[in-house]
């Protein structure tokens, strides 16, 4: 096992090697950028076709390359699996924040390091939170343990999503399964589910299916109610399994992009699937009253007590099929 400095998509990163696999950890956004077998190129995690940039260094004109608006800082650097903390979705109107919050775009520093473990830490200034992301090899699995600390004097309600996005050739033959007991339409359910009201039940097999490379462009977003602690993706050659505590994330938000977004920087080229473990079903700035605290028998918010830290864990197992 070993750790070395590297770059990924032109940004600073660390390579954490163990169990015959290498994980790339991005220091901008604290992301799991890549997970590969040593000596192989196939990576299940999404790598955008556009060049990356440090969002903290971009001026208005630089952000326009990534479409401008609140999505632009996120799109400048995001890939793979990243943290949405404080909020999951667009910022509150007029707040000046970025989509999915600061955790995905801020700079992280290495706060602990050994041959099998890296801890990346950051202070979220706008959210007034501390974040520590601990990556460690546990046998052949990569464990990601995220700790969020709130130092205020009253409970802090926040969104928490582990936004894992898959892409590349791995998706071409991928079949998705998950321990969910209900899949429902969102306000943005897309062309596969025309006319379905938010919360309408959908066929899970259809909702989890990824279109083939030659399919017509489309995109959608649905929510799955978590019933157990795993989701899995199998291709002809590889398998990725994510395991977690279902009490931590009662929702799995399933986002599919198949060349439907034609604006900058998407340009109709991207194929991506988000398997987003979340404390709420949809990435909304402000959920409507009917799904503000509980919905369909599940909570939709989480709170951190005063001067307290909470840790949540998931594991990724990357295997040959």
The pLDDT tens digits for 149-173 are: 998 889 999 999 999 999 999 999 9
Residue 49: what pLDDT?
97
pLDDT single digits (tens) 48-106: 999 999 999 999 999 999 999 999 999 999 999 999 999 999 998 888 889 999 999 99
Average pLDDT over residues 250-254: 98
- Which residue pairs, CB below 8 angstroms and at least 24 apart, start in 123-132? 124/85, 124/86, 126/86, 126/97, 126/102, 127/85, 127/86, 127/101, 127/102, 127/103, 127/158, 128/152, 129/85, 129/86, 129/156, 129/158, 130/309, 131/30, 131/83, 131/85, 131/103
Q: Specify whether the CB–CB gap between 174 and 234 falls below 8 A.
A: yes
253 has a pLDDT exceeding 80: yes
pTM score, whole prediction:
0.96
Residue 206: what pLDDT?
93
| Rg, the chain, Cα only | 18
CA distance 73 to 12: 17
Residue 188: what pLDDT?
86
Q: Specify whether the CB–CB gap between 56 and 50 falls below 8 A.
A: no
Residue 192: what pLDDT?
83
In 3-state terms, the chain is what percent helix, strand and coil (to 5)?
10, 50, 40
Average pLDDT over residues 105-133: 95
Average pLDDT over residues 291-310: 93
In the CATH scheme, what is the code of domain 2-320?
Answer: 2.70.98.10
Average pLDDT over residues 219-223: 95
Q: Specify whether the CB–CB gap between 16 and 137 falls below 8 A.
A: yes
Spatial neighbors of 170 by CB under 8 A, at least 6 apart, are 42, 43, 44, 233, 235, 238, 240
C-alpha distances (whole Å) from 228 to each of 2, 82, 305 are 33, 22, 26
Please state the domain extents for the chain. 2-320
Residue 71: what pLDDT?
97
The residues pairing with 151 across neighbouring beta strands, listed in sequence order, are: none
Residue 307: what pLDDT?
86
Residue 189: what pLDDT?
78
Query: How large a percentage of the chain has pLDDT more than 70?
Result: 100
Residue 291: what pLDDT?
92
Residue 160: what pLDDT?
97
The pair of structure tokens assigned to 152 is 């205020």
Strands (E), 87-155: 109-113, 117-124, 129-138, 141-150
Query: How large a percentage of the chain has pLDDT more than 90?
Result: 91
Length of the chain, please?
321
- Arithmetic mean of pLDDT over the chain: 95
191 has a pLDDT exceeding 80: no
Query: Which residue shows structure tokens 């978590």?
Result: 226
Residue 151: what pLDDT?
83
For strand 81-86 and strand 308-320, is the pairing parallel, antiparallel, or unpaired?
unpaired
Phi, psi of 241 (to 5 degrees): -120, 130
Phi, psi of 205 (to 5 degrees): -65, -45
190 has a pLDDT exceeding 90: no
């Amino acid at each position: 096992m070993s750790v070395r400095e590297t770059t990924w998509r032109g940004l600073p990163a660390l390579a954490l090697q163990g169990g015959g696999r290498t994980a790339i950890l991005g220091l901008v956004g604290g992301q799991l950028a890549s997970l590969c077998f040593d000596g192989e190129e196939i990576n299940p995690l999404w790598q955008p076709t556009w060049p990356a940039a440090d969002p903290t260094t971009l001026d208005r004109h630089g952000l326009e390359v990534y479409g401008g608006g609140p999505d632009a800082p996120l799109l400048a650097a995001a890939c793979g699996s990243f943290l949405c903390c404080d909020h999951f979705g667009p910022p509150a109107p007029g707040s000046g924040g970025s989509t999915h919050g600061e955790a995905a775009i801020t700079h992280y520093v290495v706060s602990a390091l050994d041959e099998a473990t890296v801890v990346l830490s950051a202070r979220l200034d706008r959210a007034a939170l501390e974040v520590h992301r601990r990556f460690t090899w546990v046998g052949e699995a990569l464990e990601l343990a995220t700790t969020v600390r709130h130092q205020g004097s009253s409970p802090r309600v926040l969104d928490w999503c582990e936004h894992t996005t898959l892409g590349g050739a791995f998706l071409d033959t991928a079949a998705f399964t998950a321990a969910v007991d209900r899949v429902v339409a969102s306000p943005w359910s897309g062309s596969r589910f025309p006319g379905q009201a938010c919360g309408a039940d959908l066929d899970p097999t259809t909702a989890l299916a990824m279109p083939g490379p030659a399919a017509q462009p489309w995109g959608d977003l649905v929510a799955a109610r978590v019933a157990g602690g795993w989701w899995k993706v199998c291709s002809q050659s590889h398998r990725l399994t994510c395991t977690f505590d279902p009490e931590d994330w009662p929702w799995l938000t399933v986002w599919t992009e198949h060349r439907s977004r034609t604006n900058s920087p998407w340009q109709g080229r991207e194929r991506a699937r988000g398997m987003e473990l979340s404390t709420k079903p949809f990435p909304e700035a402000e959920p409507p009253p009917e799904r503000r605290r509980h919905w369909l028998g599940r909570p939709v918010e989480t709170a951190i007590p005063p001067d307290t830290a909470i840790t949540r864990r998931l594991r990724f197992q990357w295997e040959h099929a």
